Amino acid sequence: MRVITFGTFDLLHIGHVNILKRAKELGDTLIVGVSSDALNYRKKGRYPVYNQNDRMAIVKAIRYVDEVFLEESLELKREYILKYKADILVMGSDWEGKFDHLSDICRVIYLPRTENISTSATKIKIKDHL
């Protein structure tokens, strides 16, 4: 089974590791779409701390991850699932229900987020403590 998931994965933290580990356990091959710098800028009005090449290299270095690619648009999930021949789409529970329309081409599984950690919270913590 081929599993696909998506995210920014900026300032890698334990919540990222947990979701990648659990996604990998659902199949044999884990493919990760790392969102591009431009996509993040369009969505949030600022760039990630680490650029897309570094974020892709960091995610690729995780033992649970087999392939990475650049996610250039949030609206292309269907195309990416077909291109990478994914059987299962994994998303964090913050997206619960949002990708059910893709269940005609793959299984859609939402995994619970790790509590009390996020890239945004980490940035605030660093800002407040330095």
Q: Give dist(CA 10, CA 3) in Å, integer.
A: 21
For residue 26, give every residue at least 6 positions away whose Cβ sits within 8 Å of its Cβ, in sequence order, or none. Answer: 1, 3, 88, 90, 109
Considering only 50, 70, 109, 114, the residue that binds ligand CTP (CB under 6 A) is: 114
Judged by CB under 6 A, does residue 21 bind ligand CTP? no
Chain-centroid distance of CA 8 in Å reads 6
- Nearest residue to ligand CTP on Cβ basis: 92
Judged by CB under 6 A, does residue 30 bind ligand CTP? no
Considering only 59, 77, 89, 92, the residue that binds ligand CTP (CB under 6 A) is: 92
Considering only 3, 4, 16, 39, the residue that binds ligand CTP (CB under 6 A) is: 16
Q: Give dist(CA 11, CA 129) in Å, integer.
A: 17
Give the footprint of ligand CTP on residues 62-91 (CB under 6 A): 91
Stretch that binds ligand CTP, among 4-12, 64-72, 77-85, 97-105 (CB under 6 A): 4-12
Considering only 26, 70, 102, 117, the residue that binds ligand CTP (CB under 6 A) is: 117
Residues near ligand CTP (CB under 6 A) are 7-9, 15-16, 19, 91-92, 94, 113-114, 117-120
